[in-house]
Amino acid sequence: MLFIATGAAAAVGAGAVAWPLISQMNPDASTLALASTEVDIGAIPEGGILTVKWRGKPVFVRHRSKKEIDEAAATPLAQLPDPQADAARVKKPEWLVVVGVCTHLGCVPLGAPGSRGDYDGWFCPCHGSHYDTSGRIRKGPAPANLAVPAYDFLTDTKLRIG
Amino acid sequence: MSGHSTYVPSSAIARWFESRLPIIGLMHGSFVSYPTPRNLNYMWTFGAILSFMMVAQIITGIVLAMHYTPHVSMAFASVEHIMRDVNWGWFLRYAHANGASMFFVAVYMHMMRGLYYGSYKAPREILWILGVIIFLLMMATAFMGYVLPWGQMSFWGASVITNLFSAIPLVGSAITTWLWGGYSVDNPTLNRFFSLHYLLPFMLVGVVVLHVWALHVVGQNNPAGVEVKNVKRDTVPFTPYATVKDSFALAVFLIFFSWFIFYVPNYLGHADNYIEANPLVTPSHIVPEWYFLPFYAILRAIPSKLGGVMAMFGSIAILAFLPWLDTSKVKSAAYRPVYRVFFWAFVLTCVGLGYLGAMPAEGGYVIASRILTFYYFAFFIMILPLLGIFETPKPVPATIADAVLAKHGAHAMQPAE
């Protein structure tokens, strides 16, 4: 009994000391403090993509054209590896906001006209993932759609991400 | 480290010291009088070359750390500062960067030697597994070291490799955040990689000591793959025989190493790493250092994220099970005619995967990667277990001395002393 009690106390003590050593590697207060950023989106032309840095990562703010919106909305969910309706991924159809990090292994997908991949969205050159105009994975090794960060429209031309 | 020492302290002071700490006797028994099989060929010199490279990397690394700054805004500039301003900095950095490549050249030769001559078989299983652990530590150390210059390849290599952990179900993204210390590879990541890049080599030294200890307990394997039966007939003392042979091989290896340092110091690197890291732009074609390419090809050959990651780690982990996957009683491929063919096919497969790892992941390259990945694993889990049953080995010599006699005739049997 005494041995078990001593052993248990030692195990709890070792765990209590180990935790700070493990936890120190998690994001610190200064990293967490940078959790939101404000963007002016008034200058983005239709069809244009603005890349902003949020939490050290690129975020794509895309001013979608009517054609791009229709393409995204018309895609049957059955064709998607990670089924999600376009309406569930945007707050205003003309604005798509996604984290610009490929869900495969973290590269930044290309979005310049001409290198947008087979589905007019983004193409990741690292391992060949194609995303559509809703940032959804269509082809390639990535398992999931581009993530949609938390964001709010402060005004019609001002966006807060995070 | 065993091996019967013939060390006799010659002075009163040495006797006094030896009776209190018998370290001179231990060194003498391990590196002077230690019996080595008399038929060792030059493939057995890579152990010494590796020991040299490990020390060289630690020394050049420690002095580079005196001039390097592990901060995202200063790391890249501090490496250029080493190259341009620090006395002999260019030499130290090129020696360290190419030294990592040479370390891998030597370790791959060393592993191939073990694979060809069955050095992993009883009683050397623990010795072999310690070697696999050393290989893993080397890879972790090299990966973190490559991140430190904070160039484009450093950054994106780090992103891709740390993102491998996000493939783990449920806890994956929490683990990657923990590894990064943030939401992406950033300053906290660079800082901890520097800390660990400094730590791991010393852990490596610890495992190398165990590796050498285990080696000296069971003794060296040899090209005939038969154990030492008569120390006088089958072995020669480490000094001068192995010492001189290792020194000569090391000198030749250093010429090769020097050629890289002084003539093509950037040949093995990637030009993109001379562009400072930019988290918003991924280089069009990310490739790891050459020594990771075969594993990178395996990762990309599997059309699923988790599957690719498991195959890649599995391709290394499977080495640890090799002593039990190979069912043949005969160690040396010199007496295994069928195994020899599969062995060289395996070597070519690894080289082929290395080539494919550097190519874009599309079309025929992916198909070829899949075929070679299949062979890589089939070699371990199908060919090796079955070959022990179906292969008829050639007659194995009874002793090392017999093997030497059969090859060179009686004149080779001069007394070793």
Q: What is the CATH number of the domain that holds B64?
A: 1.20.810.10
pLDDT at A34 over 90: no
Contact A55 B160 (CB under 8 A): no
As a residue count, chain A comes to 162
Is B108 domain-assigned? Answer: yes
Write down the pLDDT at residue A104.
Answer: 87
Residue B412 banded pLDDT, cuts 50, 70, 90: very low
Which structure tokens are listed for B269?
A: 């690197």
Is B407 domain-assigned? Answer: yes
Is B296 domain-assigned? Answer: yes
The whole-angstrom distance between A116's CA and the closest CA on chain B is: 13
Residue B8 banded pLDDT, cuts 50, 70, 90: confident
Is B15 domain-assigned? Answer: no
Predicted-complex ipTM score: 0.78
Domain count, chain B: 1
pLDDT at A144 over 70: yes
Of all residues in chain B, the percent with pLDDT exceeding 90 is: 84
Mutate to test the interface with A, among B171, B305, B359, B362 (most CBs of A within 10 A): B305
pLDDT in tens, B346-372: 999 999 999 999 998 778 999 999 999
pLDDT at A67 over 60: yes
Distances (CA, A) of B325 to B117, B121, B136, B320: 15, 10, 20, 10
Residues B134-138, mean pLDDT to the nearest whole number: 97
Is B272 domain-assigned? Answer: no
Is B12 domain-assigned? Answer: no
pLDDT at B7 over 50: yes
Write down the pLDDT at residue B409.
Answer: 65
Residue A31 banded pLDDT, cuts 50, 70, 90: confident
- pTM of structure: 0.90
Is B166 domain-assigned? Answer: yes
Task: Determine the 3-state secondary structure of A130 from DSSP.
Answer: strand
Contact at 8 Å (CB) between A109 and A14?
A: no
Write down the pLDDT at residue A128.
Answer: 82
Which structure tokens are listed for B22?
A: 């018998």
Residue contacts between A and B (CB atoms, under 8 Å)? 86
What domain range includes position B99? 29-227+236-265+285-412
Residue B1 banded pLDDT, cuts 50, 70, 90: very low
Residues B217-234, mean pLDDT to the nearest whole number: 94
Active site residue A63: no
Contact A26 B186 (CB under 8 A): no
Cis preceding linkage at B123, omega within 30: yes
Strand partners, A139: A130
Query: With contacts defined as CB-CB under 8 Å, which chain A residues touch B178?
Result: 22, 25-26
Write down the pLDDT at residue B305.
Answer: 83
Task: Locate the chain A residue with the closest alpha carbon to B358.
Answer: A126
Write down the pLDDT at residue B329.
Answer: 93
CA B401/CA B305 separation, integer angstroms: 53
Cis preceding linkage at B240, omega within 30: yes
Which structure tokens are listed for B18?
A: 């030896």
Is B10 domain-assigned? Answer: no
Instruction: Kindly tell me the sign of the dihedral angle through the C-alpha atoms of B117, B120, B121, B124.
Output: positive
A33-69 as b/e, with b when 16 or more CB fall inside 10 Å? ebeebebebeebeeeebbebebbbbbbbbbbbbeebb
